[in-house]
Amino acid sequence: MEWTFSQEELPATAESFWQHYKGQHLFTLEGPMGAGKTTFVKALCAARGVEDATASPTFSIINEYVFRENGQEYTIYHLDLYRLKDEEEAIAAGVEDTIYRDRAISFVEWPDIINDLLPPDTVRLQLSVLPDKKRLLRAG
């Protein structure tokens, strides 16, 4: 699956993404610095009705957001592993706890150091910058 979108098309793209990946719970998000990974996660949170302010987890490593759906409370975890050195440091930071938590959705930026921890049903996303300032999101 793939989407091409501009900044203005981001909310509609987020809605389409959730329609396509209904029921999935773990996503990796790769792309160069400045590709818009955090911006995309913010749009996904907004589409799910997250009311908390969303921000980059670069320094906190893991951000947690809550949304309600059909009377149930769910959590979205946004992880940024860029500053971590290895899998052991990621485990100590609580990464394993978030990616395997029930009724939670996790988005993991810079996932290379935890590849061995990821289950086979992980959806791997690649975000690229196109010459016209649009973005290309590919799942593969």
What would the pLDDT profile of 33-72 be if each residue is shown by its tens digit?
Answer: 999 999 999 999 999 999 887 877 766 899 999 999 989 9
pLDDT band at 105; cut points 50, 70, 90:
very high
User: CATH number of the domain that 6 lies in?
Assistant: 3.40.50.300
Percentage, residues of the chain above pLDDT 90 = 86
Task: Report yes or no: 140 and 124 within 8 Å, Cβ to Cβ.
Answer: yes
Q: What span, in angstroms and rounded, lies between the C-alpha atoms of 117 and 3?
A: 27
Domain limits for position 111:
2-139
Q: What span, in angstroms and rounded, lies between the C-alpha atoms of 30 and 36?
A: 10
pLDDT band at 125; cut points 50, 70, 90:
very high
Buried b (16+ CB within 10 A) or exposed e, 121-137: ebbbbebbeeeeeebeb
pLDDT at 9 over 90: yes
Domains in the chain, number: 1
